[in-house]
Amino acid sequence: MKSLTHLIRFIDSDYFPRGIEATRAMPERMEWSRAIPFIILHLGCLGVFWVGYSPIAIAVCGALYAVRMFFVTGIYHRYFCHKAYKTNRGVQFLFALLGLLCVQRGALWWAAVHRHHHAHSDEEVDVHSPKQKGFLWAHIGWMTSSRNFPTDYSLIPDLARFPELVFLNRFDLIGPLLLAILTYGLGALLSNLDPALHTSGSQMLVWGGFVSTVLLFHGTCCINSMAHVFGKPRYETGDDSKNSFLLAMITLGEGWHNNHHRYQSSARQGFYWWEIDPTYYTLRLLACMGIISNLKRVPESAYRDENTIRNGT
């Protein structure tokens, strides 16, 4: 019976044997049972010593990092968390499904945690504040605590009204399974079509599935752990958010974090032309194609506020 309970919990992200409220009331500490998926993910990268490497495998690894980083930044963050643009229900479902390929749980859980972060940024109840709980806890530790696993649907009523989004959020295991099938299948297909590429299903699974996902995971988590520590603030936001060119390059524009904390709903986080924001450029392209619409602009007050700060008035 206990093993069945663990299996159901593994499959259904909304299943908590203790009950949701009791789970949220648990002590905030690292739990090895919750850390096992992260350990397996990282151990999977050691597969490179058995499968070797090929130019095509490394290229796919890099491409999957970039594409899925956009899914995190442009879809999970700027759409589901902040509604920085609009789209129709069908595309919204597709976006949530694509987001699962990032292996960072469901869009609704992601949005609920992030909205809570903005409401309590760097306060004691902020689940991933380096100021309150240290660098390692902000980077990865908070995700190994059961109390942070239930999705707080009360924070996302605009999203929770869509049953298809709730379904994807509950069964987010769909994402890792799809990623494994797609990467292994791609490697096997390429091996049959062109043996000169020197790849295989297992090689592509390791590089495109494990290595790329670990890089993506740590790239994303750098915003939680580093963007409130390294860089420079432009605005007074009441927290420690900062702007960092390096983090912006790693995360396709999310490193302009202080800008974002000042104007959260803006589709653009690099407010000036020299603040490179690839996520925004991609969103502009999708808007031109008619896939999304109504991108929220940087308010004019953003530039007035900066002038006020510079002039000390």
- Summarize pLDDT for 68-109 with one digit per residue, the tens: 999 999 999 999 999 999 999 999 999 999 999 999 999 999
Separation between Cα atoms, residue 94 and residue 165, nearest integer Å: 10
* Residues 222 and 247: beta-carbon distance below 8 Å: yes
In this prediction, residue 7 has a pLDDT band, given cuts at 50, 70 and 90, of: low
pLDDT at position 308, please? 54
Please report the pLDDT score of residue 313 as a whole number: 46
Residues of the chain with pLDDT > 70, as a percent, come to 94
Q: pLDDT tens digits, residue range 202-224?
A: 999 999 999 999 999 999 999 99
Asked if 229 and 241 touch (Cβ cutoff 8 Å), the reply is: no
| CA 116 vs CA 15, 119, 128, 153, 168: distances in Å | 21, 5, 10, 11, 21
Residue count (the chain):
313
3-state helix, strand, coil in the chain (%, to 5): 65, 0, 35
Which residues are within 8 A (CB) of 242 and not within 5 positions of it... i.e. 6 or more apart? 227, 228, 229, 230, 231, 232, 233, 257, 258
> Using 50, 70 and 90 to split pLDDT, how confident is the model at 17?
confident
CA 149 from chain center: how many Å? 15
What is the C-alpha to C-alpha distance for residues 85 and 295, in angstroms, rounded to an integer?
4
Count Cβ atoms below 10 Å from residue 22 Cβ, excluding itself: 13
What is the model's pTM? 0.93
Is pLDDT at 259 greater than 50 in this prediction?
yes
Domain locations in the chain as residue ranges: 40-311
* Beta-carbon contacts of residue 84 (< 8 Å; ≥ 6 apart): 78, 265, 266, 267, 283, 295, 296
Give CA torsion, residues 113, 147, 142, 221, to 10 deg: -30
Query: CA-CA distance, 221 to 237, in Å (whole number)?
Result: 21
Give which of 222, 226, 212, 224 is closest to 42, Cα–Cα.
212
Question: Cβ–Cβ contacts within 10 Å for residue 15, how many?
Answer: 14
Dihedral sign of CA atoms 220, 67, 215, 255 in order: negative
Instruction: Give the count of alpha carbons within 13 A of 271, CB side only.
Output: 24
Instruction: Yes or no: say if 172 and 154 are a contact pair by the CB < 8 Å rule.
Output: no
**pLDDT at position 161, please?**
97
Q: What residues contact residue 158 under an 8 Å CB cut-off, 6+ apart?
A: 83
Query: Phi/psi of residue 63, each to 5°?
Result: -65, -40
172 pLDDT more than 50: yes
Core vs surface per residue 23-52: b (16+ CB within 10 A) or e? beeeeeeeeeeeeeeeeebeebbebeeebe
In whole angstroms, how far apart are CA 223 and each of 135, 156, 188, 210? 11, 22, 35, 21
